[in-house]
């Protein structure tokens, strides 16, 4: 039997008891570690699911933005056509108004001339 620094000799049964206690504590540590590993695995699965869902949502959002951009281009083109058509319409109305004003001026002059001839 070996002695430790003046202490009583280490007996095999003491070593067996120590080994048994260490095995018990090691079993508790292993059980806790197993529980932690399961929790980490569960968190990793949730993170992976969230990541997958986020990617799907981002792709859907990207598609929606693309559709919106295409729609905005069509609206802008339609608006430009309306502006162009309105400009042409206004130009035509002005031309007709100028022609109408000229015709009215001629008619008024003619009436004034006739009125002047009849008075004089």
Domain extent, residue 99, equals: 2-119
Domain total of the chain: 1
| Whole-prediction pTM | 0.49
13: left (phi over 0), alpha (psi -120 to 50) or beta: alpha
Average pLDDT in the chain = 91
Report pLDDT digits (tens) over 6-33: 667 768 888 889 999 999 999 999 999 9
Determine the distance from the C-alpha atom of residue 109 to the mean position of all C-alpha atoms in its chain, rounded to a whole number: 70
Helix, strand or coil, per DSSP, at residue 120: coil
Report pLDDT digits (tens) over 58-81: 999 999 999 999 999 999 999 999
Report pLDDT digits (tens) over 24-63: 999 999 999 999 999 999 999 999 999 999 999 999 999 9
Percent of the chain topping pLDDT 90:
71
Question: In the predicted model, is pLDDT for residue 4 greater than 60?
Answer: no
- DSSP H helical ranges for the chain: 12-119
Q: What whole-number distance in Å separates Cα of residue 43 and Cα of residue 15? A: 41
């Amino acid at each position: 039997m070996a002695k430790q620094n003046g202490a009583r000799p280490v007996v095999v049964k003491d070593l067996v008891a120590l080994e048994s206690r260490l095995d018990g504590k090691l079993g508790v540590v292993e059980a806790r570690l197993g529980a932690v590993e399961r929790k980490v695995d569960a968190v990793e699965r949730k993170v992976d699911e969230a990541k997958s869902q986020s990617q799907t949502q981002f792709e859907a959002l990207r598609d929606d933005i693309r559709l919106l951009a295409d729609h905005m281009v069509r609206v802008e083109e339609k608006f430009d056509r309306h502006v162009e058509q309105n400009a042409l319409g206004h130009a035509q109305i002005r031309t007709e108004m100028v022609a109408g004003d000229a015709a009215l001026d001629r008619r008024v002059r003619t009436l004034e001339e006739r009125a002047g001839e009849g008075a004089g």
